[in-house]
Amino acid sequence: MREISPLQKERLNYKPKLAGVLANGINSIKLTLGEKTSAQGDVEEIKKLFPAVFNKPIAKFDTTGESLSTEQKNVGVILSGGQAPGGHNVIAGLFDALKDADSNNKLYGFLGGPSGIVEGKYIELTGDIIDKYRNTGGFDIIGSGRTKLETQEQFEKALVVCKNLNIKAIVIIGGDDSNTNACLLAQWMAQNNTGITVIGCPKTIDGDLKNDQIEISFGFDTATKTYAELVGNIQRDANSAKKYWHFIKLMGRSASHVCLEVALQTQPNITLIGEEVEAKKQSLDEIVSYMANIIATRAKLGKNFGIALIPEGLIEFIPEMKVMIASLNDLTAKLENNSEYQNASNEQKYQIITSKLDENSAKLFNSLPSSIKAQLLMDRDPHGNVQVSKIETEKLLIEMIKTKLSKMKEEGKYDGKFSDQAHFFGYEGRCAMPSNFDADYCYSLGYNAFALIQSNLSGYLSSIKNTTKPASQWLAGGVPLTMMMNMERRHGEIKPVIKKALVELDSPVFKELEKNRETWAMNDCYIFPGAIQYFGPSDVCDTTTITLQLEQEKKLLNV
C-alpha cells in the first residue's frame, strides 16, 4: 500500500477549477473556428512538410457555435520529456472529460513515454488509478521518456497498437520538441487516412513554450515558486551568517525565464540573463568582471556575502562560447562512429577536437579547465545538443571570479573576504506538488484536450487563456501546432521544430529586473517567499507568477 503524507492526503481531495465554459460539462461545449494560421518562420517549408495539418484555424470553445461529436472514442495518452508539476492533473482532466462524454470511453496510458505506443506497452487508466494521483507531482502514473516519434516504422507500429485498442485519439503531453513530434505524428495519421486525432498539451518548467495563444506552459508556476522558496531560504541564511557568496544555477537550458521569475520573486544581488548576455555580446571575461565588481563594492560596505542567480543555459548565450559549442555539436555528431575518437583518452580527445576547431574556438576551448572540457564533450542530449545542465557553470564562474578578485587585490581594488557556495536547483522543482494555479490549469488543459478530440481537430495544442483572471473567466480553445513552427539545425541537420520563446529584453518582465538591478545589488532587499501555499487567502495561494501578471498587464494596456 502506498504511504502518503498528510499534505498529499489533503491535496488528493482538492477539486480543481475548470476553465470558463468547460465547467458547463463536455456535452454543452460549442466550437467556433477563427482565423487561419501560418507558421513562425520558413512558411513554405513548413507547409510542404505538413500539408495535412497546415493553415488550420484557431479553435475557440463557448456556449454558441457548432456542437461537438458524441461518438464513442478511446484515447491514448503519453507523457513525454522531462517531468513538470501538474502532469497528473492533465491526465485526470482528460479522463474526467471522456467519461463525462460517454462512460464507455476508455483511456490508455502508454508506459515510459513515446516508446510505449511503439512497443505496445500500456495500461488502462481507471478511476481508481486516476484518483490516487490527482493534484500530485511527478509523472509516475505512467512514466515518461524521450524517444522521438519521427520515423515511418515508428508511426506504423503505433498505428497497429492503436487499432488493437480501438484508439481514435492520442494526447501527447510535452514541451516544444515533444509537440513537434506530435505534429509529425498528426501529419502522418492524417495523410494515411487513419482517422486518429493527435492533440498536444504545453508542458515545460522552462517557460519557453508560449506565444499569443499559449500564455504559459504548465509546471512553470510551481517550479519557479519552489525554486524561489529555496533561494529565499539561502538568502535568509546569507543574511544571517554574512560570510558566503552563494552562486545558484537554476534550470532553463534554452531560455532564462525561470531565472528571471525567481529573481523577481526573491530580489537577489546579481541576476544573469542569458538573452541579455547574447544581445550585448558579452564575453566570459566581461561577465566575470561585472560580478567581481559587485562583490568588491559590497565588500567596501562591509558585506562579504550575497546571492547570484545563473541560468542553466548561460554558457550557450555567451557569443564566443555559443560559436564554439555549435562547432562542438557538429563535430561530435560527425565523430559519433569514429572508433579512433571514441577509444581515445580525454586528453587525446581534446587534441582531436582542438585540431578541428577554428583558431578562436580552439583557443577558448584550451583556456577552460579540464573538468569543463570533459563536460562539454559528454554524450549529447536526444536533440544533439550539449547537456548544459551537466556543465558546472556556477563553479566555472566561481573559479574565474577568485582569479579576478586576487588580481584586484594586488591592484588595491579589493580588500574583502570571498567565501563561496555553489548550488544547482533543477530536479528539486520538476516533481513538486502542483500549485493551485498549475492544478487548475493542468486539469483544464486535459479536459480541453478531449473537447479538441470531439471537435476532430488534429495537430492542435490545447490552449487555456486569460489565466491571470479567476478560472471562471479563462478561455478554452486550441492552436494549430504548425503555427508555432520554424526550421532549425538539430543533430547537424535542418529540421522543423516549435520555436522556443526566449526572454525579450523589451518586455515588461525584463524591464522590471533592469529597473531594480542596481538597488538589489548593493542593498539587501531579499524577499523570502516561503513554501507554496495551498490553503489560505486567495492572494497568497491562488496568485500566478510575476512573469504572467506583467505580460498580461501589458497586453491589456495595448488593447
Q: How many angstroms separate the CA atoms of 159 and 164, rounded?
A: 9
How many CA atoms lie less than 13 Å away from 185 in the CB half-sphere?
29
Q: Which three cell numbers stand for residue 76?
A: 491514448
Torsion sign, CA atoms 18, 24, 29, 32: negative
Strand ranges (E), 68-194:
74-79, 107-110, 122-124, 167-174
What one-character-per-residue DSSP string does 144-165 give? -B-----SHHHHHHHHHHHHHT
- The closest of 330, 382, 385 to 353, measured between CA atoms, is 330
Residue matched to cell numbers 485519439: 169
For residue 432, what are the contacts with CB-CB under 8 A and spacing of at least 6?
A: 85, 137, 222, 223, 226, 532
Total Cβ atoms within 10 A of residue 330: 15
- The closest of 172, 194, 203 to 83, measured between CA atoms, is 203
Q: Is the Cβ–Cβ distance between 192 and 163 less than 8 Å?
A: no
For residue 356, the surrounding DSSP H or E stretch is: helix 346-356
- The closest of 40, 21, 20 to 212, measured between CA atoms, is 40
Buried/exposed 468-502: b ≥16 CB within 10 Å, e otherwise: beebeebbbbbbbbbbbbbbbebeeeebbbbbbbb
For residue 232, what are the contacts with CB-CB under 8 A and spacing of at least 6?
A: 265, 266, 526, 527, 528, 529, 530
Q: What are phi and psi of 452, to 5 degrees?
A: -65, -40
Q: Is 80 helix (H, G, I), strand (E, B) or coil?
A: strand
Q: Is 197 helix (H, G, I), strand (E, B) or coil?
A: strand
- How many angstroms from the chain centroid is the CA of residue 357? 31
Q: Which three cell numbers stand for residue 159?
A: 498505428
Whole-number Cα distances in Å, 152 to 55, 149, 433: 24, 9, 38
| DSSP symbol at 28 | G
206 carries an active-site annotation: yes
Q: Which of 206, 208, 438, 440 is catalytic?
A: 206
- The closest of 202, 227, 138 to 467, measured between CA atoms, is 202
What one-character-per-residue DSSP string does 478-492 give? EEEGGGGEEEEEETT
How many CA atoms lie less than 13 Å away from 36 in the CB half-sphere?
5
Q: Is the Cβ–Cβ distance between 441 and 462 less than 8 Å?
A: no
- The closest of 543, 549, 528, 504 to 268, measured between CA atoms, is 528
Give, to the nearest 10 degrees, the angle between helix 393-410 and helix 284-300.
60
Q: Is the Cβ–Cβ distance between 268 and 310 less than 8 Å?
A: no
Where in the sequence numbering do the catalytic residues fall?
Answer: 206
